[in-house]
Amino acid sequence: MVYKILIVGLKELDAGKTSLACAMLDYFRARGYSVCGFKPRAGNSIWYDYDVVQEALSRGRLYGKDAKMLKLASTPCSVSGALEEEFVNPFHRLWTEPPHIDPVTRIPYFIIDRVTLWRKSEATNLVVVNDALPTEYRYDEALFNDLCSGASRIFHVHDLNTLNKLTSEYYNRAAEQAFMLMCREYELIVIESYSDVALPLPYSTLKDVDAVIGIKPGKIFVFEPEKYLTAVQLEASIRIQAEEPPTSEIVELLKPVREIRVPPLRSDEVVPQLKKRVPLILK
């Protein structure tokens, strides 16, 4: 059986999810377990994250800092050869600035999506280009030439209906395929949600986990897994299909089984200090 740990953010930005995920991976990997981090969906800004964006695009790829950190903290695997960011993070979105939603088209202000489908050890990269993005928010198309030339298929989005169809057909499938392969390969998986979304995979795919941990600056909360997933399912049932329940609404329904305080730390201390707290978190 694969041991699955779900880490969710209790605030939208800079909650500390990736640092805690890496601490968990380091802790169990040091004890001989085969471990992997998994961030089904991720995104970054072409403006604020240009270092890693440029690094990835120069290689004909698209990934972010979080996927790099999770990859480095994970055990190499046989599924994707040398462990790749596209396996750890099968869907990545590159945002323009500001990352708003167009008030007319209702399409988010993203530039391009990379979606990776996994069949056995073979990866197929799809690229989704946002042609509905207003001109003033676009960037030189030459930046994306290598990414597009290496893609198996390129889709162009002009309206919300097209984006929704692509999302329905490919995005969740990419995450589910990677997750199923990961479950065959590893003894322990640390699943990191994105933003403050309560569940980063469909309930049908992630209907049982062994630990649920919420984090925000200064505090870590441990929730009873079955009660947490039940609360997510209940909250999702009263929402529009495309809406994802935020953690703020889920934790209002639950009492944590444990609360761990974390003091302010230097950046180079964060993962080591969180690693020391893993036994307390999972006791």
Residue 90: the pLDDT is 97
pLDDT at 237 over 90: no
Q: How far apart are CA 243 and CA 106, in angstroms?
A: 14
The pLDDT tens digits for 109-147 are 999 999 999 987 789 999 999 999 999 999 999 999 999
Q: How far apart are CA 154 and CA 138, in angstroms?
A: 18
The pLDDT tens digits for 163-178 are 999 999 999 999 999 9
Task: Tell me if the pTM is above 0.75.
Answer: yes
pLDDT at 265 over 80: yes
The pLDDT tens digits for 23-35 are 999 999 999 999 9
Take residue 183 and report the two structure tokens written for it. 């479950």
Take residue 90 and report the two structure tokens written for it. 């099968």
Q: How far apart are CA 225 and CA 182, in angstroms?
A: 20
Residue 82: the pLDDT is 61
Residue 46: the pLDDT is 97
pLDDT at 80 over 60: no
Q: How far apart are CA 277 and CA 281, in angstroms?
A: 6
pLDDT tier for residue 98 given thresholds of 50, 70 and 90 = confident
